[in-house]
Amino acid sequence: MTGARVGEAALRVLIAPDCFGDTLTAVEAAQAARDHLDEVRTGHTAGVAELKTQVGQLTAQLDGLRDAVHRDEMAKAQAAMRIEQLEEQIAEQFAINPEDLIAEYGPDVPMPPSALELSEYEDAKARGELVVAPAPMPYDRATQERRAKQAQRDLNTLGKVNPLALEEFAALEERYSFLSAQLEDVKAARADLLQVVDDVDARILEVFTQAYADVEREFAEVFGRLFPGGEGRLVLTDPSDMLTTGVEVEARPPGKKVKRLSLLSGGEKSLTAVAMLVAIFRARPSPFYVMDEVEAALDDTNLQRLIGLFEQLRERSQLIVITHQKPTMEVADALYGVSMRGDGITQVISQRLRGQNLITTGSATASD
């Protein structure tokens, strides 16, 4: 067996030189085939990479399309929901079917003229102008949206519809009628009051004018008796308006040039005030007068002059004079005073100085 293998090997060596050229050719062909296969593999690899790139792009496009489809489905669902809400809103607010609403107010229906256009047309027609009635307008979405927004603003301004408006209006109308009647009554009462005020003003004006004239006359005479040689008078601050005018007293004692009361002495001021009171008493007599120490600041001379005025007043009225002056007590018809006895108990006493026939028309003097 071993000898046969050796012989076979020897035979191969002997044959090899003859087959070497063919072997080289086969190797070269194999290499060429391998290179060709490498090129084919490289081309297939590039094709696979390109296909992978395309697959990635198509996958991205597919994802984008899926997202777009999803968004479209969401938008479609929202649009369907919005349409359903609008249909419910139309049915609730306007009580009309969407089909009828579209048939009557859809985009294919011409828009009627606005209220402003119709109003202008009616006004021009009323003025006698030759005008043509406004024609319907084709539907324009932008224009109608503006009109809808304006109408919505006007509707919001009006507010919500009040179902109790008629009842409230009836109640308010009744209240208005009642208040109107009350107002008319108040106006009538006001007119009556104004008439009364006018009558009172006229009466006051008449009475005041007469009283002022009488008091002015009496004051000049009384002042002349209390201040022989002096001059006193009453002056109106606003003679044009007798209802609001003031009265100023001007007094000029004899031997003086001043007329303002603030420049007179205390006795002169007191005597001027007494002259004013006596002038009023003489102008408008009263059944009796009460005087409380009106002569306290007077000297003997002026006191005698005042007593002379008391003598005139007692002819028509009763005088009740509270005084500490002895000359005043001497001219009284009766004296009333308070005296303290030896035991310290006070006692009211009276003393009649004139006859019985003078009690009812005379004067009484009270002495503390």
Going along the chain from its start, the domains and CATH numbers come out as 170-284 (3.40.50.300), 287-368 (3.40.50.300)
Q: What is the mean pLDDT of residues 94-115?
A: 78
pLDDT tens-digit series, residues 228-237: 888 888 888 8
CA angle 293, 295, 301 (to 5 degrees): 160
Burial of 353 (0-12, 13-18, 19+ CB in 10 A): middle
pLDDT of residue 40 exceeding 50, the answer is yes
Alpha carbon distance 324, 293 (integer Å): 7
Return the closest-CA partner of residue 263 out of 246, 279, 249, 277: 249
Rounded to 10 deg, the angle between the 300-313 and 266-283 helix axes is 10
**Range 353-360 average pLDDT:** 52
Mean residue pLDDT of the chain comes to 81
Taken in order 356, 358, 359, 365, the sign of the CA dihedral is: negative
End-to-end CA distance of the chain: 194
Q: What is the dihedral of CA 60, 64, 66, 67, to 10 degrees?
A: 140
Asked if pLDDT for residue 343 goes beyond 60, the answer is yes
Torsion sign across C-alpha atoms 285, 290, 296, 301: positive
- Model confidence band, residue 21 (pLDDT cutoffs 50, 70, 90): low
DSSP 166-185: HHHHHHHHHHHHHHHHHHHH
pTM, whole model, 2 decimals?
Answer: 0.46
Residue 304 near residue 327, CB atoms below 8 Å: yes
**Which of 174 and 368 is assigned the larger pLDDT?**
174
